[in-house]
Amino acid sequence: MEAIIFVGLQASGKSSFYKERLFDTHIRINLDMLRTRHRERLLLQFCIETRQPFVVDNTNPTQRDRARYIAAAKAASFRVAGYYFQSNIGDRVVRNNAREGARRIPPVGIYATAKKLQLPSFTEGFDVLYYVRMDGTGGFTVEEWAEPTSAEPGI
C-alpha cells in the first residue's frame, strides 16, 4: 500500500495533479475539504486500517507537519512517497488570484507558507521523493528527487 504526501505552496497544482494522476487509485485527504483535524485523523485512520492508498493533499510545509502522516503510514508498512511541488512565489500569487470564491486565499497566506517551507528529505522516512513542476501547458513534469545542495531558487 502507498501513502503519498504532497509538499508545496498554495496554488502550486497539488489538487490538480491529484485529480489528473491519482484520483482513480488513491483516497484524497485534504484539510480544506474535511475542515477539521479530527475528520482528517478519522479518514487517515480509515485508510490505514483498510489498507487503502491515500494522498495527503495539504501544503505540509514543515517536517513536523509531515511527520504525523509518515509515522502512521510507516507503522502500517505503507510505502511513503513525497511529491514536492516546485514553485515561484510570484507565480503562485498570480495563479491564486485567478481562483474564484473560497479557493482564493489572501496572498499573505502564500508568503507565510513559503517562509516556513522546509524541503522534504529522505531522513524524514520517505521511501521515494519526486519534484513536480507545472509544464506551462496545463500538465505536469515529474522528476526523481536529488537532494539539494542549497535552498531552492524562487522560494
- How are strands ordered across the β-sheet holding 128-134? 27-29, 54-56, 2-8, 79-85, 128-134, 140-144
Answering whether pTM is above 0.85, one says yes
- Beta-bridge partners for 130: 83, 144
Q: Which of 62-66, 122-126, 133-137 has the lowest mean pLDDT?
A: 133-137
pLDDT at site 103: 77
pLDDT at site 122: 96
pLDDT at site 151: 54
Q: DSSP assignment of the chain, as one string?
A: -EEEEEEE-TTSSHHHHHHHHTTTTSEEE-HHHH-SHHHHHHHHHHHHHHT--EEE-S---SHHHHHHHHHHHHHTT-EEEEEEE---HHHHHHHHHT--GGG---HHHHHHHHHH-----GGGT-SEEEEEEE-SSS-EEEEE----SSPPTT-
Residue 125 has pLDDT above 80, yes or no: yes
Q: Which of 12-16, 63-67, 120-124, 136-140 has the lowest mean pLDDT?
A: 136-140
Residue 154 has pLDDT above 50, yes or no: no
Task: Give percent of the chain above pLDDT 70.
Answer: 95
Residue 64 has pLDDT above 90, yes or no: yes
